[in-house]
Amino acid sequence: MDGAGKPTVAPVLILLGPPGAGKGTQARMLEEAHGLVQLSTGDLLRAAVAAGTEAGKRAKSVMEAGDLVSDEIVIAILRDRLNEADCAKGVILDGFPRTTVQAEELDALLAENGQKVDAAISLDVDDAAMIERISGRFTCGACGEGYHDKFKPTATPDVCDHCGSTEMKRRSDDNAATVAQRLEAYHAQTAPLIDYYETKGALSRVPAMGSIESIAASLNSVVSKATA
């Protein structure tokens, strides 16, 4: 702590939860409220696919099948992004780590800078509800704001409330077959991280079946405590 009672090491927070749990939506809200940088490996990988990089070419078919991209590719992308200057103010990781190897590698990367995971927050939801949430979601292609046909429609159809763009996008891996495989990958490879962070005393659980606003309020109090 410095004299003003602020942490001297930038906070590192993790949002855990299956696809559709609301990690991206909540991470964006926390980013604004707490001055953190949202870091989504899914977004970084989609950008690599769109840019046609070597990593993107290798990741594309794996993502379309709903499987996990190799630890080697994801860790390299994450390491590069964490080294960018804006991350010095603290990060909220959305979709990383997803395997025990990634969690251990993250601990090692952070330790090099005298940092650690301050809080891993599990968004607790039901699988059945996840399918409904995923099948209706879309984002603004210009500013990235997330929407949902039923739970968070735009005020004017197909016009972003945030920036006014009409360029709305739906993810190609948000189809029924890929979503089922993504949920399976979550339960087999990512859910064990709940125990990993519990053992380290860093785990918080937030029930995430309510409204976006009520979940955000619960998360805000967890994050305020973790970054105090």
CA distances from 43 to 46, 47, 49, 114 (A): 5, 6, 10, 27
- Annotated catalytic residue, options 28, 46, 81, 98: 98
Q: Nearest 10 degrees: CA dihedral of 23, 28, 34, 35? A: 130
The count of residues interacting with ligand AMP (CB under 6 A) is 17
Q: What angle do CA 153, 154, 156 make, to 5 degrees?
A: 130
Q: What is the DSSP letter of 188?
A: I
Q: How far apart are CA 30 and CA 169, in angstroms?
A: 23
109 binds ligand AMP (CB under 6 A): no
* One of 182, 183, 223, 227 touching ligand AMP (CB under 6 A): 182
Could you tell me which of 22, 14, 18, 40 has the C-alpha nearest to residue 211? Answer: 22
- Annotated catalytic residue, options 58, 116, 171, 205: 171
Output the smallest distance, CB 6 to ligand AMP, in A. Answer: 30
- Annotated catalytic residue, options 28, 81, 133, 137: 137
Map residues 49-68 to x or -, x wherever contact with ligand AMP holds by CB under 6 A: -------------xx--xxx
Interface segment toward ligand AMP; rule CB under 6 A; list 31-39, 95-103, 135-143, 213-221: 95-103
Q: What are phi and psi of 176, to 5 degrees?
A: -55, -45
69 binds ligand AMP (CB under 6 A): yes
Task: Give catalytic status of residue 171 as yes or no.
Answer: yes
Task: At 206, list the tokens.
Answer: 């937030």
Task: Give the number of C-alpha atoms closer than 13 A to the C-alpha of residue 21, restricted to the C-beta side.
Answer: 24
* One of 11, 17, 18, 42 touching ligand AMP (CB under 6 A): 42
Task: Give catalytic status of residue 79 as yes or no.
Answer: no
Tell me which residues are annotated as active site.
23, 98, 137, 171, 182
Applying CB under 6 A, the residues found at the interface with ligand AMP are 19, 41-42, 45, 62-63, 66-69, 74, 95-96, 98, 102, 173, 182
